[in-house]
A and B are shown apart, each in its own frame.
Chain A
Amino acid sequence: MNATDCRAWLLPIAPEAYVAVGEGEIAHILSGWLSLHPVPRSPRWCHDVFLWQRQVVPLFDLGILVRHESAVSVAGGQVIMIVAYAAATGDVRFGGLRLGGLPFSRKVTDDQICDYPSNYDGWEHIAISCFTDPSHGPVPVLDLARLFDGSVAVTGRE
Chain B
Amino acid sequence: MTTEYLKVVMGRTRLLFPAAELLAVEPIARVIPPPTAGNSMAMIAIQDATVPAVTLDEDLQPVPAHEIRRRLCAVLREDGATLGVTCDEASVIGGSGLQFHVLPACMRTEGSIIPIVAVHNGSLFSVCKTADLIRILNHPPRVHPQSAARRG
Could you list which residues of chain A lie within 8 angstroms of chain B, going by C-beta atoms?
37-44, 46-47, 49-51, 55-56, 58, 60, 68, 93, 95, 147-151, 153-156, 158
Contact = CB atoms under 8 A, between A and B. Distances in A.
Interface range, B side: 20 to 34
B58 A46 contact: no
Contacts of A149: 104-106
Interface stretch (B19-27, B41-49, B83-91, B111-119): B111-119
6 contacts: A40-B114, A43-B145, A44-B150, A58-B107, A154-B106, A158-B149
A39 B112 CA distance: 9
Interface string B129-152: 000000010000000111001100
Given A51-B119, A56-B119, A156-B145, A41 B104 contact: no
Nearest to A59: B107
B111 A41 contact: yes
Contact of A150 (B106, B110, B136): B106
B114 A42 contact: yes
Contact of B106 (A50, A51, A153): A153
Contacts of B15: 40
Given A44-B145, A49-B117, A51-B122, A39 B106 contact: no
Contacts of B123: 37
Given A37-B123, A56-B124, A149-B104, 4 more contacts: A43-B146, A56-B119, A150-B105, A154-B106
Contacts of A40: 13, 15, 58-60, 113-114, 126
Q: Label chain A's interface by main secondary structure.
A: mixed
Contacts of B150: 44
Contacts of A50: 124
Nearest to A43: B109
A149 B107 CA distance: 9
B60 A56 contact: no
Contacts of B117: 37, 39, 49, 56
Interface string B32-60: 00000000000000000000000000111
Nearest to A42: B107
Contacts of A42: 103, 107-109, 112, 114, 146
B66 interface: no
A95 B105 CA distance: 12
